[in-house]
Amino acid sequence: MPTTPVSETRARVAGSHTRTRLLGVGSIVMVPAGLELAARKTAPGRVSAKPQVLEYEVRPQAGRSPSRETATDAYAVGPRGLALLRGKQIRDDDLRRAGGAYTLDQVRELLRVTRQAIEKKVREQAILAVPGPSGERRYPVAQFTGDGVMSGLKPVLAALPSESAWFRLNFLVTPLAQLDGQTPIEALGAGKTEAVVKAAQSIGVQGG
């Protein structure tokens, strides 16, 4: 922001004006673009060992208003920040389309297995787990049926080009033209495992 240096001792903001007491010799104050210094009065012009004190008023230049761009621009969210927000929105939307996500205890109750058995299935890509609150894993509901885990899920997860849990969830709940507009999880429920595996193999990783 363009500024004009002047000497000062202190300044006080009053509405849209800043009243500043200035010394003949002193430190530097930067006057924002669009403002000017207007002399209001001077101290008696007698010789003194102390610097002469002058009082000025900082006010907008004719036809211009004080710029606040620097203050607001500093808080503007850049492309990376916007991408992070967008990624969070996509993850939230995917979780909603998946019917939410179970906790570990809920999956144990549903499958009637131990914690260790569930962790093994996650490592073997037989169950999809996503990061949850406080670092705890959560398990998207859409991959489960009344009989357990969706049939055909393991080869589909293994066929995907990324191990990112969010990438995999997005694939499972996104309608695809290759599947006649069905989502992969819907197609798996209809017994179309081979078609879903082929779709998974054809998916590219963004930026890859």
Report DSSP state, residue 130.
Answer: E
Quick: pLDDT tens for 21-64.
444 444 444 445 554 545 444 445 554 444 444 444 555 556 55
Rounded to the nearest angstrom, the gap between the alpha carbon of residue 207 and the centroid of all alpha carbons in its chain is 19
Return the pLDDT at 100.
97
129-148 pLDDT, tens per residue? 999 998 899 999 999 999 99
Pull the structure tokens for residue 189.
């429920």
pLDDT at 71: 64
Q: What confidence tier does 203 reach under pLDDT thresholds 50, 70, 90? A: confident
Task: Report pLDDT for 75.
Answer: 86
